[in-house]
Structure 1
Amino acid sequence: MNMISLLVELKDRHCVVVGGGKIAYRKVMMLLEEEAKVTVISPKACSEIEELSKGEKIKLIQRKAVEEDFSHAFLTIAATNEVEENRRITQRLKSISLVNDASAYEEGNCQIPASFKKGRLHLSVSTNGASPKLAKRMKEVWQEKYDDNYIAYIDFLYEVRNLLKQKSLPPEVSHAILEEILDNAYKDSGELRHIYYEKLLNL
């Protein structure tokens, strides 16, 4: 399957999760972390999903999904415990909107990879269905490697890049600066970052 990796903003987007079990719950939590507006459709729902509904974190519709449920969905995740039902939903929607089949990655037109965030840093990995366990393991490696220090460091990279956009420096000078600040010394020292940024302000 040929796919391109994209980051998609889901804040305030209408997302539908079909299914009420533990897998559906994990998908719901992922969407809520991105501040999406989530509707869950399932005749039965696990206690965690019911609690989210009672707390008005999501909208829960306790019945089988019908075509009208997807008319305004930006993203639909088919996560029932019935493979054929997931496939039916996916085949219906894949030509008109974003749809993910939680039971068969190749059925939908988008995947939800294992991902890791640390401030502005966002890493994701997919094995195209070959081994979700490997993708999870790689995510765990990232979690150990990229600690909280990266939050301030990447903010520094962002601020320097924005500052250079405001200055009329020769391209080769800007390029050299952006290369220099990739040195680990800037990652490891907040004081060095501050001194360097102040120097750039006076260029």
Structure 2
Amino acid sequence: MTEVVQFKIIIYNKIIFMKKLIYSLIVLFFFSCSDEEVQYVDLSLSSNIEDCVITGSGTYEFNKTCTIKANSNNSNYSFAGWYEKGVFKYPLSEYSFNLSGDTFLEARFFTDDYINSIEGYVLYQGVRDARAVKYNISYPISLSAGVESTISYEEEVSFDALKIKTTNGSISKDGKNKTFRLSNTEKGSAIITFYTDNSKVDFSFLITIK
């Protein structure tokens, strides 16, 4: 079985500090390891936000070094460093790290422009291996607050295999009809995770509510 990874990159609401706007590109890596001696991770990176670019696509051996790079084509943006769970990690836009476990990274940019509020956006949601086909879930998923929505999936999994974590509002699951019903009333996010029978993460995806 090939080692797989699913990652998400999102840009959080901008944080205003000393009239400087902080931009955070969030990279989440979720690993699901097989018992084979050699495993590989496929990374496919892209951005649908103008002026924000992340590079580093390729196939990497698990527990080896990979390199990603965050750039902006906007001369008003300056790179502010890589952060892991809010802790500063590296000052340069090109960052190499070991693919040895789950990772939460931020690539921060700032500008002198003062803006009161900007909505968060999903930049990219990548799916590894054949998981997207297995569950028949399209990407990215972005919903409007206050509007009830339904997301369907196709894989036959047990009701208890579906786990949900949401920042606000409510999400209910229907194991029989294989759907999720979302009724979030405020902006935020939710992570829906499918687990295997032995409680390992099989597939996880992010929903943003704007």
Query: Which protein is richer in strand relative to its size?
Result: 2
1 or 2 for the larger relative contact order (CA 8 Å, sep ≥6)? 2
Normalising by structure 2, we get a TM-score of: 0.25
Query: Which protein is richer in helix relative to its size?
Result: 1
Normalising by structure 1, we get a TM-score of: 0.25
